[in-house]
Amino acid sequence: MKAGFWVAPEGAEEAMTILPIGFDPLGDAANGRTSSGALAGLATGKAEALIAHCPRVAQMLPEIAAALDTQQEREPGRLFDLTEFSADEIELIEQVLGQGEVAGVVALPDGVAAQIQESTMAGLWRVRFTDPDGRPFADYLEVSELPEIAKRAALVNTQPLAYGAPPVGAMNVMPLLKEIESRAGAHQPGEPSHTITFTLLPMSPQDMEFLQLCLGAGAVRLISKGYGSCRVLSTATKNVWSVQYFNSMDQIILDTLEIGDAPAVARAAEEDFRDSAERMREIDEAYFR
């Protein structure tokens, strides 16, 4: 077992292997889905033809821009259903959206999964649901700081924090568990998060294994490329998140627990919504009007 709160066992795949359909961790510049490539894709003759016979997409873009203009942090978002859109309409939407910095998956009951991908316009997300056999059955865009399904699953799919006697070799896990229990139970939505940095704590391997066992695995896994490589995982303990930063060699350089709301590294900020609204209007005016 390597150092870190969440790590894969030796020889197993690393923590973030499940990502949304079509997600390319390298950016996928070749198909025009990155921030720099999205507009280039819309300038092609094929995109012009799609725009000409996809009026529903053209109608939706000003509505999305208006939603981004008024969206507030920590407020419920607005949804734009894509479930009944044609393949051409979806292709055009994907050209507009591109792929942003945050992606992940939410494990739901009965084998259902929600795959989420931020667009190149922060605060605008694509959310797709698949059944236990991997077949998609719902698809929508959401204007919000983080898709509601991720925030809700992290709160609902939890269990009480319970722990018995520490294992042989444990050093500091018991007082840490008591601190986590106290702070997680007292947290109120909107309050600042409390961060525990393992890099600064003398924790034995037995401590870390027992801590991971007690907190349990949560339903939400996210990866952000906005601040280097950052993995955000909910635990099975309400209001407790694992947030890990990695270098280019996939080595942990900062290993933390955040006790509070969904970590800020995965959420869109107030100014992101306004910037994204402006960018959406620029795309709409340049290519759809």
CATH of the domain at 215: 3.30.1370.140
What's the rounded Cα separation, in Å, for the pair 64 and 78? 9
Q: What is the pTM of this model?
A: 0.85
Structural domain tally of the chain?
2
Considering the domain architecture, whether residues 208 and 66 belong to the same structural domain is answered as no
Q: Is the pLDDT of residue 86 over 60?
A: yes
Considering the domain architecture, whether residues 117 and 39 belong to the same structural domain is answered as yes
Q: Bigger pLDDT: 103 or 289?
A: 103
In a domain, 61, yes or no: yes
Place of tokens 């700081």: 145
In a domain, 242, yes or no: yes
Residue 38 banded pLDDT, cuts 50, 70, 90:
low
In a domain, 21, yes or no: no
pLDDT more than 90, % of the chain:
66
In a domain, 8, yes or no: no
Considering the domain architecture, whether residues 114 and 164 belong to the same structural domain is answered as no
Residues 6+ apart with CB under 8 A from 172: 201, 202, 203, 207
Considering the domain architecture, whether residues 211 and 250 belong to the same structural domain is answered as yes
In a domain, 18, yes or no: no
> In 3-state terms, what secondary structure has residue 180?
helix
**Among 37-46, 162-171, 187-196, the range of highest mean pLDDT:** 187-196
Considering the domain architecture, whether residues 281 and 140 belong to the same structural domain is answered as yes
- Predicted local confidence at residue 37, as pLDDT: 52
pLDDT more than 70, % of the chain:
85
Q: Is the pLDDT of residue 128 over 50?
A: yes
Q: Strand pairing of 78-81 and 136-143?
A: antiparallel
Residue 147 in tokens: 């898709």
Domain that holds residue 130: 32-145+269-287
In a domain, 22, yes or no: no
Considering the domain architecture, whether residues 108 and 76 belong to the same structural domain is answered as yes
* Tens digits of residue pLDDT in 267-284: 999 999 999 999 999 999
In a domain, 5, yes or no: no
DSSP state of 190: T
- CA dihedral (179, 105, 92, 137) positive or negative: negative
What's the rounded Cα separation, in Å, for the pair 253 and 109? 33
For the packed helices 270-287 and 55-70, what is the interaxial angle rounded to 10 degrees? Answer: 150
Residue 166 in tokens: 């520490």
- Predicted local confidence at residue 227, as pLDDT: 61
For the packed helices 87-97 and 45-52, what is the interaxial angle rounded to 10 degrees? Answer: 120
Considering the domain architecture, whether residues 86 and 139 belong to the same structural domain is answered as yes
Considering the domain architecture, whether residues 125 and 175 belong to the same structural domain is answered as no
